[in-house]
Amino acid sequence: MQPSINVENVTLVARSPGLSADSIEIAVTLPTFRRPEQVLETIRSVAAQRTRRPFALIVMENDAERHAGADAAAPLFENDTVAGLLIIAEERGNCSAYNAGWSTALDQFPNLKYVQVIDDDELAEPDWLETMVATAERLSADIVGAPQVPVFPNASDQRWADHPVFAPPYRTTGLVDALYSSGNLLVSRPVLDAMERPFLEPAFNFMGGGDSDFLSRAARKGFKLGWCAEAPVLETIPARRLEGDWIRARSLRNGVISTLVEKRRRADAPLGAMRVAAKSLALLAAAPLRGMIRFIRTGSASVGIYPLYVALGRVMAEFGYANEQYRQPEKN
């Protein structure tokens, strides 16, 4: 009889027959939503990792109704192509999927040391896992982020690689003050044990930003953050994401998230909300000059206008604006 999953709103679909739960030290968590072909490629890239560290893959299907990703992935677990678990995260939303995967890892693997994250539009190189963990050990970092290298539809689209929407926040390996994305991330067990649950705030489910908020809270608790430039994943960028309205919406969303995360950080501080609003207005006032400097440096109007969109997003968040790009996945 297979062990059950003792996590709320999680259903076990498949468990690889050869999985030895007590031996697992690293759980690679992979959320998927309506990308059955892509998730198979991601799974195969994880299965091909070169490491002696015992790890398992947890795929979190986040479409409980259609479950196309789970249907496609199930045979890979059932025939032991990959060691791990295939689950359905019943509650829709990006944050809920992550919470389901991380909670399942803690529930199923008593000797867990790390949770590693990859998305279903990303591919890992063979030394990805080993490099991330080795970097965490070398830096004595509790959380390590790494680049998501964009793979564009056409060679001519490579000019977008340095746009702030796609570019990584750091270029070199080392300890850092902040991380912003869970798309390529390693989280140590002590962080998961210390953080409040749910790990990612469900209010960010369809907007994004739950990862940025989680990482901000972890840093405030004193956990050390690091960056590993040598462990990129390749992220497939559909043509839709190079259209002007998508870039604009993502830029505004980044501003909204910045305000919401900062408001949560300053919630108990004297005049915290006023200080966040004042900062947003100051950034809006400075945005034209900052944008002009970026335009002169890069020659890109899209890069130049980015600070203005972010600042507008920050101000719009003060009036309740929330750009939930994930609410309509076909437009994302």
Are residues 191 and 278 located together in one domain of the fold? no
Residues 129 and 230 reside in one and the same domain: yes
Give pLDDT < 50 ranges for the chain: 1
Q: Indicate if 184 and 301 belong to the same structural domain.
A: no
Specify the number of domains making up the chain.
2
The region, left, alpha or beta by phi > 0 then psi within -120 to 50, assigned to residue 214 is alpha
Give a yes or no: residue 17 inside a domain.
yes
- Tell which residue, 315, 281, 102, 295, has the closest CA to residue 191: 102
**Within a domain: 303:** yes
Q: Which of 199, 215, 239 is the endpoint of a domain? A: 239
pLDDT at residue 2, as a whole number: 53
CA-based angle 47:50:51, to the nearest 5? 105
Whether residue 72 sits in one domain with residue 159: yes
Residue 122 DSSP class: E
Boundaries of domain holding 107: 10-239
* Domain termination residue (choose one: 239, 254, 283): 239
Q: What pLDDT sits at residue 151?
A: 95
Mark whether 190 and 253 lie in a shared domain: no
In-domain check, residue 2: no
pLDDT for residue 1: 42
In degrees, rounded to 5, the angle at the alpha carbon of residue 74 between the alpha carbons of residues 129 and 78 is 85
pLDDT in tens, 79-116: 999 999 999 999 999 999 999 999 999 999 999 999 99
Q: Are 290 and 225 in the same domain? A: no
Residue 233 and residue 179 in one domain: yes
Domain end position, chosen among 216, 239, 262? 239
CATH number of the domain where residue 44 is located: 3.90.550.10
Same domain (yes/no): 35, 86: yes
What was the pLDDT predicted at 274? Answer: 87
Task: Please tell me the distance from the alpha carbon of residue 256 to that of residue 206, in angstroms, as a whole number.
Answer: 13
- pLDDT score of 331: 63
- Report if residue 5 sits inside a domain: no
Q: Please provide the DSSP assignment of 28-89 as one string.
A: EEEEESS-HHHHHHHHHHHHT---SS-EEEEEEE--TTT-HHHHHHHHHHHTTSS-EEEEEE
Give the global pTM. 0.93
